[in-house]
Structure 1
Amino acid sequence: MFKKLARAAVAFGAGAMLVGAQTGTAHAAGPSTLGGGSGIIVGDQGICTLTTIGRDAADRLVGLTAGHCGEAGTEVVSEADRDAGVVGTFAYTYTDMDYAVIEFDPGKVVPVNRVGNTMITGLGGPARFPDIACKQGYTTGQTCGLTYGDVFRSNTWTWTQICVLPGDSGGPVTVGTTLVGMVNGYLSVPCLGPQLGGTMAAIIADINARGGVGAGFHPI
């Protein structure tokens, strides 16, 4: 049986979504440092995690997160720098693949390629059995586990034995320093898993096919 996460959760396919409640204290205002694994406050929907940040083919500063975190036009605030105010806006969300593209204000964001113990140097994947994949999430930080692979045989979703909790939605899933996916949900019990995540190769291919904001994305 698949479980859902209270008020902040959104049912999705075979798993439950991981959107955390808004909590914490304000910090000094200023440009917000953001990278894959940073916590973001998404409108009034709660806290999610940024998957990655970088530039698209038009040199726009853009990032990715889970699609269930917000809709097009939803404003984004850095969880660590709330007093800095709105730093970006959801450009669009694709529900079927559960990803969203965020366009950031380059004057309000300092993009980085490392958050906590997770560094992103490129895109690749998908992860396959028996890879050890790790994720960086707002709630649980870095956790790692065995990759089970694409059990749906869709080339879109990957199961991993990674601990995830509310607030980790959108968190980058990496093998080494290569970004291979994002956190989207879990099966049955949080942190007992397994975790369901979209594959980065499929997400990037879809973004490129659409054109516009995010097309030609490459991480910082």
Structure 2
Amino acid sequence: MLATAVALGSSSAANAEEASSAAPVQDEMAVIDSAKIVDRVRGDLAAVGVAVPGVDPELTGAVDRAVSSVLPGTRPAAQDEPGEPEAADAPDTPAEAPLRPSAGSSTSPSQWLPQSSGGDAIPAEVDPVNTDAVAQDPNYVWRNDLSSRVLAGKPQEEWVLNRAPGSRFDAPRAPEESHVAHAQGTSLYGPSTPIYVGQDTMCTLTVAGVDGDGRQVGVTASHCGEVGDQVSSADSWQLGPSGTVVSTNEYLDYAVIEFGSNAAVTRSYNGVTVNSLDSDGVNRGDVLCKQGVATGHDCATTWLTGQEAHVTQLCAMAGDSGAPVLAGDRLVGHISRSALPIPNGHLFSCRTPLQGALHAPTASVAVNPVLGDINARGGVGAGLALPEN
């Protein structure tokens, strides 16, 4: 990972000649502190029970000097600069459990304004909708420190957004269509909508539609919750729960959600559109794509296929469970779990784009057997069809 950070710095060397010849004032220079980056990753791993040795100051110091030598306007961290505290012992809270106030909480709204890692104000052009006094999900965190931008693979960007515990990806923003529905008192659900299930689990919605009896329904992974759990959109959680888990199938790892009157469904959400539901015809070597709240959008090669599941190199971690897996605008399945046995699968999950393809393969459940089982059971969800829009 540190080697990748050096490569990122090297790629900027071509721009060095165009920089001003005047040396920046040292206090105004960005600090390259790879020890802080390593400590942050150690903290993420500790949160899921993985102990990692401390940093080697000689190695991180060498990396800092190498990066700053090719990245204009930066300097290596001084040896006496304080780093991040030692990673705490792993808490009992599961990795996918975010911390958030409940809808209607008496907590002052100003406490839940969009956050930055350093407490800096969020410019309106970065997050024009959420800079007002609307209560905000504390997992919707804008960061502008250098280590967060490097870990997100966007060192030149001014801000990146983290939305799932342990993820260092620049996450998908709440889309305009969700804000419009929110202003009307409605939570909008479609393929890739981030959701909270129960009190503390963040997942991603696979698809939303209307069943044979006209009920608004959705599908996600069954391990996200249990029958009776309430569901909220993480893009409009301030409106409170707008759905309930009504059935699950652990073998096929799917859950059916029935949405209430304060919800609306769509086939197109945040740039993801589903126009058909069919997992037949997926072959080894095919490129499939997904979009999840933790790691965003990516595409990867299919390694194995079967009637009930596919194994791909799609990037996924806690929070992406349920994310739609697509071949173009055709839904072929949803993200289920790592293809490696636990705990190794969790250890090698995809947490930063700096990993590239160096992460565990991902297992996804095929949509045809899921729909077949829902129809065979009858009741809520049977006859699921895509919305008109």
TM-score, normalised relative to structure 1: 0.86
How far residue 183 of structure 1 moved from its aligned partner, in angstroms, is 0.4
Q: Distance in 1 between matches of 2:375 and 2:94?
A: 30
Runs (5+) with no aligned partner, structure 2: 1-47, 50-92, 102-111, 113-134, 137-181, 351-358
Answer whether contact 1:22 1:47 (CA < 8 A) is retained: no
How far residue 96 of structure 1 moved from its aligned partner, in angstroms, is 1.3
Matched residue, 2:94: 8
Pick aligned residue for 2:267 from 109, 113, 126: 113
Matched, 1:166 2:321: no
Give identity over the alignment, percent: 37
Matched residue, 1:175: 327
Pick aligned residue for 2:368 from 197, 201, 212: 201
Matched, 1:190 2:349: yes
Question: Which residue type is aligned with residue 273 of structure 2?
Answer: M
Question: Which residue type is aligned with residue 266 of structure 2?
Answer: V
Q: Distance in 2 between matches of 1:41 and 1:202?
A: 25
Q: Distance in 1 between matches of 2:99 and 2:269?
A: 20
Q: Distance in 1 between matches of 2:310 and 2:200?
A: 25
Residue deviations 1:166-218 (CA, integer Å, cap 9, x gap)? 11000000000000000011133113121111100110011111111111111
Q: What is the SS of the residue equivalent to 1:202?
A: helix
Matched residue, 1:21: 98
Answer whether contact 2:216 2:264 (CA < 8 A) is retained: no
Matched residue, 1:39: 194
Answer whether contact 2:189 2:265 (CA < 8 A) is retained: yes
Q: Distance in 2 between matches of 1:51 and 1:70?
A: 14
How far residue 136 of structure 1 moved from its aligned partner, in angstroms, is 1.1
Residues 55-70 of structure 1 aligned to structure 2 (within 5 Å): 55-70=210-225
Matched residue, 2:276: 122
Residue deviations 1:25-58 (CA, integer Å, cap 9, x gap)? 5456620111110111111241100100001111
Distance 1:23 1:185, change over 3 A: farther
Matched residue, 2:244: 89
Distance 1:22 1:101, change over 3 A: farther
Q: Distance in 2 between matches of 1:200 and 1:37?
A: 15
Question: Which residue type is aligned with residue 383 of structure 2?
Answer: G
Question: Which residue type is aligned with residue 143 of structure 1?
Answer: D
Question: Which residue type is aligned with residue 361 of structure 2?
Answer: P
Matched residue, 1:15: none
Question: Which residue type is aligned with residue 384 of structure 2?
Answer: F
Answer whether contact 2:201 2:225 (CA < 8 A) is retained: no
Answer whether contact 1:74 1:90 (CA < 8 A) is retained: yes
Q: What is the SS of the residue equivalent to 2:236?
A: helix
Q: Distance in 1 between matches of 2:98 and 2:321?
A: 12
Structural RMSD (CA): 2.1
Question: Which residue type is aligned with residue 288 of structure 2?
Answer: A
How far residue 83 of structure 1 moved from its aligned partner, in angstroms, is 1.4
Matched, 1:157 2:312: no
Q: Distance in 2 between matches of 1:176 and 1:39?
A: 20
How far residue 110 of structure 1 moved from its aligned partner, in angstroms, is 2.3
Question: Which residue type is aligned with residue 325 of structure 2?
Answer: V
TM-score, normalised relative to structure 2: 0.50
Q: What is the SS of the residue equivalent to 1:209?
A: helix
Q: Distance in 1 between matches of 2:199 and 2:247?
A: 17
Residue deviations 1:41-76 (CA, integer Å, cap 9, x gap)? 111241100100001111110000000001111000
More strand by share: 1
Question: Which residue type is aligned with residue 81 of structure 1?
Answer: S
Answer whether contact 1:45 1:70 (CA < 8 A) is retained: no
- Runs of at least 4 residues off by over 6 Å: none
Distance 1:22 1:162, change over 3 A: farther
Distance 1:45 1:128, change over 3 A: farther
Question: Which residue type is aligned with residue 316 of structure 2?
Answer: V
How far residue 143 of structure 1 moved from its aligned partner, in angstroms, is 1.1
Q: Distance in 2 between matches of 1:125 and 1:43?
A: 29
Q: Distance in 1 between matches of 2:233 and 2:225?
A: 15
Runs (5+) with no aligned partner, structure 1: 10-18
More helix by share: 2
Q: Distance in 1 between matches of 2:190 and 2:271?
A: 12
